[in-house]
Amino acid sequence: MKAVAAVACGAALLAVLAGIFLANPAEQQLVVPDADPSMAEDDPKAQEPEPILLYVDVGGAVRAPGVYQLPEGSRVQDALEAAGGLMDDAVLSSLNRASLVVDGQKVYVPRADDMQVASQPSEAGGGPSPSSSAALISINSATMTDLDALPGVGPATAQAIVDHRDENGPFSKLEDLMLVDGIGEKKFAKLKDQVCL
């Protein structure tokens, strides 16, 4: 009988312990918080890629010439604003402020004085007369068709002039035409009296 009483006591003890264990389920479980998937979606740094920066050299008639970092997709107007804006004597006729800038681009804004120097007759009297200056072709704003009409300039040289202008900004003096592939001293001598800045 003692054995039956011992088994009954053991069973009762187990029942009490099981009751306590089942009554407090929080103590028996290890709670590990799940990562909230919405947290990654709300974090702007997790979604946005690192912006690509372009380096643009801005010079000429701007308030603070220099090299500026601009985000990819910026326009020439953004580069001008980064350089403090335009000076009062800036000439914008040869500048497309809406065009996209590319890394390493030179944006040059000519001054009014630059344009006047090109159109004034030389002291030796060999410069263009007021009546002939109207027929001059501006190397800073001429189209490929205009340039192709010049003596000794064909489609390839016209394209080279436009490419040089796009990559380096407007020409600052007529002699800079000799920096263009295909234009040497002899060809420049034929062109110089028929072009202006």
Instruction: Tell me the pLDDT band of 64, cut-offs 50, 70 and 90.
Output: very high
Structure confidence by residue, pLDDT tens digits, 91-143: 888 788 888 888 888 888 888 877 665 455 444 444 444 433 445 788 887 78
- The residue among 180 and 129 whose pLDDT is bigger is 180
How high does pLDDT run on average in the chain? 75
Instruction: Tell me the pLDDT band of 73, cut-offs 50, 70 and 90.
Output: very high
**How far is residue 53's CA from residue 68's CA, in Å, rounded to a whole number?**
10
The pLDDT value given to residue 45: 59
- Distances in Å between the alpha carbon of 93 and those of 87, 109, 141? 14, 10, 8
Instruction: Tell me the pLDDT band of 32, cut-offs 50, 70 and 90.
Output: low
Strand-pair partners of 103? none
Strand-pair partners of 55? 69
| Tokens linked to 54 | 């372009």
Over residues 167-173, the mean pLDDT reads 84
φ, ψ dihedrals at 183, nearest 5°: -120, 110
| Tokens linked to 115 | 């344009």
